[in-house]
Amino acid sequence: MDISSVQKLCIDLISSAVQRCRLSEDLCRLSVVLKSSPPIIRVSISDTGTGSCLEEFQDLKCNREGIGTEKWDGLLSIKTTSISDNKIYHYHLNLRGSVSARRLTRLPSILKNDAKFSGTEVCLSISETIDALLNDIKHYFQKMLILKIPSVAAELVIERGDASGLRCQNVFLPNECSPLNFSSSNVERLKSGLEEYVLKHRNSLNNKCDSCFCSREKLKISSGVARSMESHRSPGLIVEAVIAISEHSESLCFRSSGNKTEVLHFKDFSPSSVSIASLNALTSIDWRSYGLTLVSAVDQVDHALIEWESLPPYLHIDMVIHCYHKQFPGKCKYQPDRHLIKKGVKLALDDLKEKHTGLLLSAHAVKICSYAPDLASSIAGIILSSNDVKFQSKCSLLLELSQSQEIGKQTVEDRIKEKIISVIETNDRKPEKIKEAAPFLFEDDPPQDLDPADLYLEEHEGGDDVFSFPD
């Protein structure tokens, strides 16, 4: 793993601590302490997860151009112990040397005196400002809250070595608007995490913003999961995609993103950079079938930035993609798969359309709906101008209108228009691969010679949401 900056080094060390906590079967605490004694900052990253696999540190590659010797001497101090160990082992590792020549320097161990615990502490001393590290680390934890990993509580402590002896502590525990069960699935946690992220303006607030989200109806959220089959050459992978669409009234605290969407990426339960496969997947989706027009999808290092054409100013879209192994820890390294990512995102979009009437209508459906008023007016004119009382009575019954009083033309038109639009929306909400013939306006028996297969073509990709990798 290449390390190009002090900030990235700290984030990678924190990510490793998170993985050790996930391996533990117990509740874990992760603590990051930044102690300032100008011009030096001592960084301590400790966790109560499983003991460290020391190879993870030896694989780190220090980019000398990114981290100069004047900022960091390359020395890591590592203390670690497993639950079965009777000692706490202490090592020094200098990352300035070549990978092949590196050796851990073992220092005197500390007896545990029959105590049963596990954990790791990694320390380093750097020449940097607190603010330069603090923003990146806080941003990392704010994104980690989206995953809602149930067994990890994290804290960030800043100690300043000045006369005031100021000590500042940030505890990153999810103040949940919708608490989850401990046994909730990963995708349920991701879905709830993105909801909290949006409600709290990218987790910059402790509680949801009531001025922007006075009603939960303003936020619509859905998810899609795509899986690959496990083989001897490739691990079984899971891609979870969650999409949130929010409608904002005018608010002073709402930071408008215009017609852009940030797509956050996670890999193996940690924030990740944007892969080429993900960008290709996002640009290959037929967004017009969801009423959206894609202008561009650009890599912004820690997220992808999608720009839309003519997105309504009151509408905002948030998206998160998480790719991970079925089994943890993974057996081998892998790259996210474009087809899996595309499938996961499309399943989330289809789920939104199915659950929320009128949302994400395709451009074709919107065009057809524009003809509904004229068609409704013509049909209403035929019904009301008829002299056949039985015909009018049957039409009133089908339109669910009262026959005990005189009904005006506008009422009949509105009811017919509602039914026409309802039929269009019902059919448009279905994914292409499972679309059937559209229901008839008045629910009469369809013609017996009508073949639904002639009405809709199968989506060219089709198939289930399970993929296998070629050998």
In angstroms, the Cα distances linking 282 to 269, 277, 295, 306, 340 are 21, 9, 11, 9, 11
Region of residue 56 (phi > 0: left; psi between -120 and 50: alpha; otherwise: beta): alpha
**Quick one: pLDDT at residue 135?**
86
The pLDDT score that the predictor gives to residue 102 is 63
pLDDT at site 32: 93
In angstroms, the CA 183 to CA 363 distance is 40
Q: Which of 167-176, 260-269, 432-441 has the highest mean pLDDT?
A: 260-269
Strands 152-160 and 466-467 turn out to be unpaired
- Measured distance CA(146)–CA(195) in Å, rounded: 8
In this predicted structure, what is the pLDDT of residue 451? 46
Give the helix/strand (H/E) hosting 266: strand 260-267
pLDDT(148) > 80: yes
Q: With the C-alpha atoms ordered 413, 415, 416, 422, is the resulting torsion angle positive or negative?
A: positive
Please tell me which residue, 463 or 421, carries the higher pLDDT value.
Answer: 421
Query: What does DSSP assign to residue 82?
Result: -
Write down the pTM of the prediction: 0.79
Residue 457 has pLDDT above 50, yes or no: no
Using 50, 70 and 90 to split pLDDT, how confident is the model at 57? confident
List pLDDT tens digits, range 332-370.
667 778 999 999 999 999 999 888 888 888 888 888 888
Are 360 and 350 a contacting pair, CB within 8 Å?
A: no
> Distance between CA atoms of 18 and 137, rounded to whole angstroms?
13
Q: What is the dihedral of CA 257, 263, 264, 269, to 10 degrees?
A: 160
Domains along the chain? 2-173 (3.30.565.10), 186-258+314-355 (no CATH), 363-428 (no CATH)
Q: What percent of the chain has pLDDT over 70?
A: 75
The arithmetic mean of pLDDT across residues 264-279, rounded, is: 92
How many Å apart are CA 58 and CA 104, to the nearest integer?
A: 8
Q: Which segments of 59-183 does DSSP mark as H helices, in order?
A: 130-147
324 bridge partner residues:
238
The CB-side HSE value for 256 (13 A sphere, CA atoms) comes to 13
> What is the C-alpha to C-alpha distance for residues 51 and 23, in angstroms, rounded to an integer?
10
Q: What percent of the chain has pLDDT over 90?
A: 35
Which residues, including other chains, have CB under 8 Å from residue 412's CB and lie 6 or more apart?
380, 383, 384, 399, 401
Average pLDDT of the chain is 81
User: Can you spell out the DSSP letters for 407-464?
Assistant: --HHHHHHHHHHHHHHHHHHHHHS-GGG--PPPPTT-PPPPTT--GGGT-PPPSS-S-
DSSP string, 170-189: EEE----SS---TT--HHHH
Q: By the 8 A CB rule, do 71 and 127 touch?
A: yes
Residues 6+ positions from 236 with CB-CB distance below 8 Å? 227, 228, 229, 230, 325, 326, 327
Q: How confident is the model at residue 62 (pLDDT cuts 50, 70, 90)?
A: low
Q: What is the pLDDT of residues 84-99, one digit of tens each?
A: 999 999 999 888 766 6
In whole angstroms, give the CA distance from residue 299 to residue 297.
Answer: 7
Inter-helix orientation angle 130-147/186-199, to 10°? 130
Q: What was the pLDDT predicted at 322?
A: 96
Binning pLDDT at 50, 70 and 90, where does residue 64 land? low
- Residue 454: its pLDDT value, please? 41
Model confidence pLDDT, tens digit, residues 163-205: 555 667 666 655 455 567 778 899 999 999 999 888 887 777 7
pLDDT the model gives residue 224: 96
User: What pLDDT score does 163 carry?
Assistant: 55
d(CA 345, CA 239): 9
Higher pLDDT, 231 or 433: 231
From CA 14, how far away is CA 44, in angstroms rounded? Answer: 10
Would you say residue 24 has pLDDT above 70?
Answer: yes
Residue 311 is given by DSSP the state: -
Q: How confident is the model at residue 127 (pLDDT cuts 50, 70, 90)?
A: confident
C-alpha span between 112 and 413 (Å, rounded) = 82
Mean per-residue pLDDT, 208-229: 81
pLDDT of residue 453: 41
* CA–CA separation, 7 and 136 (whole Å): 7
Q: Which amino acid is at 235?
A: P
Q: In the predicted model, is pLDDT for residue 38 greater than 50? A: yes
Confidence of residue 15 (pLDDT cuts 50, 70, 90): very high
Q: What is the pLDDT of residues 318-342, one digit of tens each?
A: 999 999 987 665 556 677 789 999 9
d(CA 78, CA 329): 22
